[in-house]
Amino acid sequence: MTTQATSSVQMKSWDEQPSAEYEDGTKLTRAKVSQEFSGDVEGDGLTEWLMFHRADGTADFVGLLRIDGLLDDRRGSFVLENRGTFDGKVAEGPLTVVPGSGTGELAGMRGDGEFSAPMGMEATFTLRYDLG
Q: How many structural domains does the chain have?
A: 1
Strand partners, 97: 80
Q: List the alpha helices (DSSP H) in the chain.
A: none
CB 106 within 8 A of CB 79: no
Q: Is there a domain that residue 131 lies in?
A: no
Predicted confidence at residue 120, as pLDDT, reads 78
Q: Is there a domain that residue 11 lies in?
A: yes
CATH number (domain holding residue 91): 2.40.350.10
Q: CA-to-CA distance for 124 and 84, rounded, in angstroms?
A: 14
Q: Which domain holds residue 15?
A: 3-122
Q: Is there a domain that residue 63 lies in?
A: yes
Q: Is there a domain that residue 128 lies in?
A: no
- Which helix (H) or strand (E) is 44 found in, with range? strand 41-53
Q: CA-to-CA distance for 48 and 63, rounded, in angstroms?
A: 5
pLDDT tens track, the chain, 132 positions: 899 999 999 999 999 999 999 999 999 999 999 999 999 999 999 999 999 999 999 999 999 999 999 998 999 999 999 999 999 999 999 999 999 999 999 999 999 999 999 987 789 999 999 997
Predicted confidence at residue 121, as pLDDT, reads 78
